Amino acid sequence: MQEMNDKITSGSIVALVTPFEAGAGRVDRAAWLRLLEWHAEAGTGAVVVAGTTGESATLAPDERDWLLQSAVESVSDRCAVIAGTGSASTATAVASSRRAAQLDADAVLVAAPYYNRPPQRGLVAHYRAIADDCEVPLILYNVPSRTAVDIEPETAMALADHPNVVAIKEAVADMSRVRRYSEAGLAVLSGDDPSALEAMRHGAAGVISVASNVAPVMMARMCRLAAEKDFAAAGAINARLEPLYRFLALESNPIPAKWLLSAAGHIGPDLRLPLVGLDETHHAGGRRLLASLAAE
């Protein structure tokens, strides 16, 4: 049990893409199972199912259920399985988190409620309602660039008192927050690949990563070295990953990640509207990037 708890609060955790069948729009089940196996073999500690990178906003409930069930059945003996259950509606987030627990998820990752921009006391009430109801650990997810609301440090600290809140995925690259949370005993998972290693220098326990979709072995190794406080060796890996971080920021996530995975032969290129394929002007650079990563 402790080993599984460690996997949901530390190390390299992939925010996994959802592959779709070319032209059909259906979840590509065979490709999904291949991705899960690849990550289990690569040393990824946990997979996030139906998170932002997994195009959660366009997944139907039955698709979410299948993705989560198949992940639990396929890799739960080697990786922790975390379900993305965030919603603008507290009632929906409660129901989604309850369903994830029923399907044997190891934890839920709950993004701050988007669009309606609640005040901080509304965030406290939202997360406490979910944590009170949910039977698995809850990871707060702060990503104001997408949600238009920031989980402020005082709010996160208030929520950390809840016994079911075990960590925060912090996408704001503010090392003072990272230090404050980690010193108070709240596990921090970076939600920003380019600053993840710096966050680990300041007390973060790991990263929930988009880059791990493309370079899982390197990300897992970097996190292990950082946990061992070998920041020189971890920094060398991070330097080799920096071109990947830059490429992944060229267009909205997960457009670049899915293009790279498709070009590498792991999945098809399809996304669901309103997301569209990567602009052709970036394709040549993407192929060069893949070649350089393959040479590592």
Q: What is the mean pLDDT of residues 281-294?
A: 96
Helix then strand then coil, % of the chain, to nearest 5: 50, 15, 35
Contacts of 202 (CB under 8 A, 6+ apart): 175, 178, 179, 182
Tell the residue number behind the tokens 């070998």, with chain if given: 230
Taking Cα atoms as reference points, which of 128, 111, 267, 278 lies closest to residue 191? 111
- The count of domains in the chain is 1
Taking Cα atoms as reference points, which of 183, 129, 174, 177 lies closest to residue 156? 177
Whether 80 maps to a domain, the answer reads yes
Q: What is the mean pLDDT of residues 136-150?
A: 97
Confidence at 121, pLDDT banded by 50, 70, 90 = very high
Q: What is the mean pLDDT of residues 70-79?
A: 97
Whether 255 maps to a domain, the answer reads no
Whether 278 maps to a domain, the answer reads no
Taking Cα atoms as reference points, which of 84, 102, 133, 105 lies closest to residue 4? 105
From the candidates 127, 169, 181, 258, give the one annotated as an active-site residue. 169
Whether 143 maps to a domain, the answer reads yes
Whether 215 maps to a domain, the answer reads yes
Confidence at 1, pLDDT banded by 50, 70, 90 = low
> How do residues 208-236 score in pLDDT, each as one tens digit?
999 999 999 999 999 999 999 999 999 99
Is pTM beyond 0.85? Reply is yes
> How do residues 237-253 score in pLDDT, each as one tens digit?
999 999 999 999 999 99
**Considering Cα of 124, then 106, then 49, then 98, what sign does the dihedral take?**
negative
Percent of the chain exceeding pLDDT 90 equals 95
For the chain, the C-alpha Rg in angstroms (whole number) is 18
Strands (DSSP E) found in the chain: 11-15, 46-49, 80-84, 107-111, 138-142, 165-170, 187-190, 206-209
Whether 90 maps to a domain, the answer reads yes
Q: Identify the CATH number of the domain in which residue 106 sits.
A: 3.20.20.70
169 given a catalytic annotation: yes
Whether 142 maps to a domain, the answer reads yes
From the candidates 7, 127, 141, 181, give the one annotated as an active-site residue. 141
Confidence at 3, pLDDT banded by 50, 70, 90 = low
Q: The domain containing residue 133 runs over which residues?
A: 2-229
7 given a catalytic annotation: no
**Considering Cα of 184, then 186, then 192, then 195, what sign does the dihedral take?**
positive
Structure token pair of residue 197: 């290693």
Whether 236 maps to a domain, the answer reads no
Q: What is the mean pLDDT of residues 51-71?
A: 97
